[in-house]
Structure 1
Amino acid sequence: MTRSKRRAATAPAFGRVGRILPMLLLTLLVVALILPAGAAISPGFLGPARPQEPAAAGPWQQLPATLSAPGAGGPSGGGARPLSDAAPVPDAAALAAQLNATLKTDGAGSFSGVVQDAVTGEVLFDRAGDEVRAPASNIKLLTAAAALRTLGPDRRFSTKVVAGATPGTVVLTGGGDVLLGAGESAPDAVLGHAGLATLAQSTVSALQQAGVSGPVTVLLDDSLFTGPPLSPAWSPEDVAAGEVAPLFPLALNSARFEPGSTTGPRPVDAAMAAAETFAARLASAGAAAGLTVAPGVARVPATEKTPDDAGHANKVLAEVESATVGQQVDLLLRTSDNYLTEVMGRMVAAASGKPASNEGAVAAVLQQLEELKIPSATLRAADLAGLTLANQVSARQLSAVVRAMTTGTDSRLRSALAGFPVAGLTGTLGSRYTDTSTSRGAGLVRAKTGTLNTVIALSGYVVDADGRLLVFSFIGNNLTPGAAGNKAALDRTASALAACGCR
């Protein structure tokens, strides 16, 4: 089974609404970023009590008269008001009436769904919420939560060059960074934060200081991950199409040939491709210093691998560090990066003392759900990217994960919030919410998307018209492949939540 999801170009402007929408969305994004940016409901999401206002009167809901500069506050110029626990909770019956009118399939299949008040956890809408279903890429939310809890949002992964056992040999050692760039390190970037050209230059300097003058041989150590590099749950067609690729603990561009590429075939051996690029950069940097690099790269023989404390054989000559785990989680949620998600799962397993394999990664992620006290006895995970129907997760479980991120006691999970795609603006929601039936949610709905041939899902959070924070998850299964109305149904339903003053 292959995934049907393909990124579409942003829809053209439509009439008067289309002309004003970009300005409206940008302003809403500025405000929306202020509201949930890494803060808990108590005290972060909660602010001082404010006077009751009519529905849709909050500053996050107003059409701006002027475009606010970043950091200049809300449409009124005085800054966005904090959310308040005094904001009314939607009436469940009134909310259900609206959602049942929009949450309808286009053809075969059915939708399940859950909406909760983020502060209290009260369930405001429940349609088969405990029924486990294929969640597609919504399962990435589980990996995001596990990575932030296990690794921490500030953790970075190191790619090192160490001295080999044989004089004149250097070993490129993967440490989990698959967002390496081929050029200089880019400190302000996530993709390409660590660059192989910078690593090569530092390696040349270290070799010069060590008095190395002869030809240098480059070896590759990518032994951090164990087990098969491909999950048995993945379709060969998906692999051939480039939805995912064999997993290694180092790669360029999240295992893409070019940094801007998001579709098409991937390198079969991303680690070796990175090593060969490093060898070329090392040869270029070494030429001016009189160093030559032997052609070809081989993997380190198992007999030459030694413990980290073995001395000279593992002396670190140079290293570069990745962007933080928090930044990488933002990227995998915003772009729904399958490769990065699976690698992050294996890094969670390694940090948990489990084998850094597919099975170890799944076990480590599910363990984190249990520690979050999210019931997972019914949950089944065959991978972490969501490429298979064998994954079975309920809307209630996904909603609970989002609630843990917005209002739970573990503040490390707040780092995931900024990575949720914003309706009509960013990531996999960037080209959606552009017509009159969904414009009420533009700039307000923040949600992880998920799409397979017969599956569509949307899980996230939104501030309603009364200023109440709601979390939600909607999952459609057994749908008619290619039926455009299913995506529209989810977007209209999330927009109804954003516009709700349901009392």
Structure 2
Amino acid sequence: MVHEARKLAAGARCPDATRVRPPSLASIAGRALAALVLPMAVGLAGSPAARAGEEARPPGAASEHPALERRLEEVLATPGYRHGHWGILVVDARTGKVVYERNPDELFAPASVTKLFSTAAALAELGADFRFETPVVRTGEVDGHGVLNGDLVLVARGDLNMGGRMGPDGTLLFRDDDHTYAGGNPRSDVVEADPLAGLDHLAAEVRAAGVRRVTGDVRIDDRLFEPAESTGSGPRRLAPILINDNVVDVLVRPGKAPGDPASVSIIPVTSYVAVDAQVETGTAAEGTKVDVRAAGPRRLIIRGRIAADQSRLVLIHEVDDPASFARALFLESLQRRGIRTEASPLGVNSAAGLPPPGELLRRPKVAVCTSPPFRESMKIILKVSHNLHASTLPLLLASRHGERTLDAGLRLQGERLRGLGVDLEAISFGGGAGGSRSDLVTPRATVALLKAMMARGDFADFDAALPILGRDGTLARAVSPESPARGHARAKTGTYWVEDDLTGKSVLTSKALAGYMETAAGRPLILAFFVNNVKLDAPRPGRPVSDATADAGRLLGRLCEILYGSDTPPDDPSPRTAPGASRPSTTAR
């Protein structure tokens, strides 16, 4: 397993994928306890079908839709999947009648479908209108000359975007292939938004409050919750302060002709990291290979070649200390606003000696950054399958109840899911993103969650945050642009794979899809597809593992196409469009 983690960390991952990491003994014990507590929290409550609000098919009864069932099972029998294990449940969203099922009560590794559960729990706790508020307080007095004789303290409150990704209309922008997946996905890109917008806003407010010079330190209070690790690929350090997802983006553009030096830049521009870049432009036949490695905590060495016909390449470097990174960027924002400081951006952040959190928040406030409503943060998590943000959600739940640990957050997540009517005996989680060995769900529990969300007043926000089949997010390429089903399903994807050193192949531990769709006849459906343990072909030049996992995604897209084109009529004369079905894409392209 350690060997798998090393390989995957080096870039062998794909969009919406999670990788295995060797956990510490403490995290094994703690997360195993959380995984046990969740399913033990409540007893069984009636039959599985009754819990999901479904009309179960009697054992041995013939299918009501034999032609549909036959077409679906032809897809499930696709060559290469004969050793895979399928779990499927599709029900009518209005009546609960089962349309198709296979192993609906068995536990499956859900991969990033886990995010449906963590996001639903956070939405139930916070509400769609919740906004993060990140204040800056002062610990001393400001004299008549604008001199603050004390510290400026940015109190981190877990804002997942911290002013970044902001579009002109106040909504958050995303790319179908998020920058946090860079390295394993050549399509990964950055959004056209300033990641420092939140810090610049705070710096402007500090100046407006009359501060012109700070004699003390500039500090980040990062005590909201204890440090933890993401269970998905991408940035791994969980912290209550997130600036640009706590990564430095490295953008590489080819020169005009092969042999020319390539252009290398970073986002955000900062003195926090020094860059030593030597990248040349190659021919299209030579291809692209660029490596970014750290030479110490704050120096990046970038070497390689980019093909002349490539527009640009985005890579990332995760910072080793999110609070010190944020401190440096905030200091630079203050300096750009003409506020002089004695502190250096190259220093190390320390919260030692700060007043207790409650007392600190009562100190004079000189600035505040207010986020867009949580429905926007939820959109980023679900559309692009943002592992870092999803992994932070249980910790945010913990912090709202006076707790600071991931284990406490997972227990609270379980309470919220129980309140939504989910059978906790049918789920188990070790994190919020979907990369833990503890993560297991049944198709029936997944459908029950999706059904429960439809009854909530904020369902439209939940539905709108999901990827749209063939249009955006991780479902953008699941069907062809000409597919009749395009735009008629909103669902969360999941991908989890590891390498098989025995054969040189890979194992698709999980490919999953769960959400909502409507058929051509107007019948609204709730669906949950899982396939575990599929042996993939060995990668070869021009055919990386990510292509094979994308093929599996298109296989699930084919199931959606079959359901969309099925001739099963609606069970009642209700309107033909399911809630949120016609909602437009908000992808920033």
Query: Which TM-score applies when normalising by structure 1?
Result: 0.73
Closer/same/farther in 2, CA of residues 122 and 218 from structure 1, 3 Å limit: same
Aligned mates of 1:382, 1:425 — CA distance in 2 = 31
Give the unaligned 5+ runs of structure 2: 17-62, 142-148, 174-194, 250-266, 269-312, 498-507, 537-544, 570-589
Work out whether residues 222 and 351 of structure 2, in 8 Å CA contact, stay in contact via their aligned partners in 1.
no
Aligned mates of 1:147, 1:307 — CA distance in 2 = 23
1:180 to 162, 176, 190: 162
Give the 5 Å matches for 1:101-500: 101-105=74-78, 106-107=80-81, 108-164=83-139, 167-181=149-163, 188-190=170-172, 195-208=198-211, 213=213, 215-226=215-226, 228-230=227-229, 234=231, 243-258=234-249, 264-287=316-339, 291-296=340-345, 297-306=347-356, 308-309=358-359, 314-351=363-400, 353=401, 355-405=403-453, 407-408=454-455, 410-434=456-480, 439-453=483-497, 454=508, 455-481=510-536, 482=545, 483=548, 485-500=551-566
Aligned mates of 2:477, 2:460 — CA distance in 1 = 25
Q: Which residue is equivalent to 1:75?
A: none
CA-CA distance at 1:229 after TM superposition: 1.9
CA-CA distance at 1:161 after TM superposition: 0.8
Q: Which has the higher contact order (CA 8 A, sep 6+)?
A: 1
Where 1:250 maps in the other structure, the secondary structure is coil
Closer/same/farther in 2, CA of residues 111 and 440 from structure 1, 3 Å limit: farther
Aligned mates of 1:254, 1:414 — CA distance in 2 = 27
Where 1:111 maps in the other structure, the secondary structure is strand
CA-CA distance at 1:468 after TM superposition: 1.1
Give the unaligned 5+ runs of structure 1: 9-89
Where 1:356 maps in the other structure, the secondary structure is coil
CA-CA distance at 1:160 after TM superposition: 1.4
Work out whether residues 136 and 452 of structure 1, in 8 Å CA contact, stay in contact via their aligned partners in 2.
yes
CA-CA distance at 1:498 after TM superposition: 1.3
Amino acid at match of 2:338: G
Work out whether residues 183 and 197 of structure 1, in 8 Å CA contact, stay in contact via their aligned partners in 2.
no
Closer/same/farther in 2, CA of residues 271 and 294 from structure 1, 3 Å limit: closer
Instruction: Give CA deviations for 1:279-314 in whole Å, capped at 9, x if unaligned.
Output: 111112125xxx3342145545443323535787x2
Aligned mates of 1:262, 1:371 — CA distance in 2 = 42
Where 1:179 maps in the other structure, the secondary structure is coil
Please say which of residues 326-335 and 176-185 is displaced more in the overlay: 176-185
What is the identity percentage for the equivalent residue pairs of Structure 1 and Structure 2? Answer: 27
Work out whether residues 130 and 394 of structure 1, in 8 Å CA contact, stay in contact via their aligned partners in 2.
yes
Aligned mates of 1:317, 1:458 — CA distance in 2 = 46
CA-CA distance at 1:194 after TM superposition: 5.5
Where 2:415 maps in the other structure, the secondary structure is helix
Give the 5 Å matches for 1:54-133: 91-105=64-78, 106-107=80-81, 108-133=83-108
Instruction: Give CA deviations for 1:264-289 in whole Å, capped at 9, x if unaligned.
Output: 442222232122101111112125xx
Q: Which residue is equivalent to 1:47?
A: none
Aligned mates of 2:164, 2:102 — CA distance in 1 = 48
Instruction: Give CA deviations for 1:444-495 in whole Å, capped at 9, x if unaligned.
Output: 1221111011210011111112111101010011111344553332111111
Cα RMSD (Å) of the superposition?
Answer: 2.9
Work out whether residues 159 and 371 of structure 2, in 8 Å CA contact, stay in contact via their aligned partners in 1.
yes
Closer/same/farther in 2, CA of residues 147 and 156 from structure 1, 3 Å limit: same
Where 1:411 maps in the other structure, the secondary structure is coil
Aligned mates of 1:216, 1:251 — CA distance in 2 = 24
CA-CA distance at 1:414 after TM superposition: 3.0
Closer/same/farther in 2, CA of residues 163 and 184 from structure 1, 3 Å limit: farther
Aligned mates of 1:494, 1:389 — CA distance in 2 = 28
Higher helix share: 1
1:502 to 568, 572, 576: 568
Work out whether residues 193 and 322 of structure 1, in 8 Å CA contact, stay in contact via their aligned partners in 2.
no
Work out whether residues 164 and 170 of structure 1, in 8 Å CA contact, stay in contact via their aligned partners in 2.
yes
Amino acid at match of 1:306: P
Instruction: Give CA deviations for 1:331-359 in whole Å, capped at 9, x if unaligned.
Output: 110000001111222212222x1523221
Higher strand share: 2
Aligned mates of 2:421, 2:320 — CA distance in 1 = 39
Aligned mates of 1:214, 1:299 — CA distance in 2 = 16
Work out whether residues 228 and 237 of structure 2, in 8 Å CA contact, stay in contact via their aligned partners in 1.
yes
Give the number of equivalent residue pairs: 401
CA-CA distance at 1:172 after TM superposition: 1.1
Aligned mates of 1:127, 1:5 — CA distance in 2 = 29
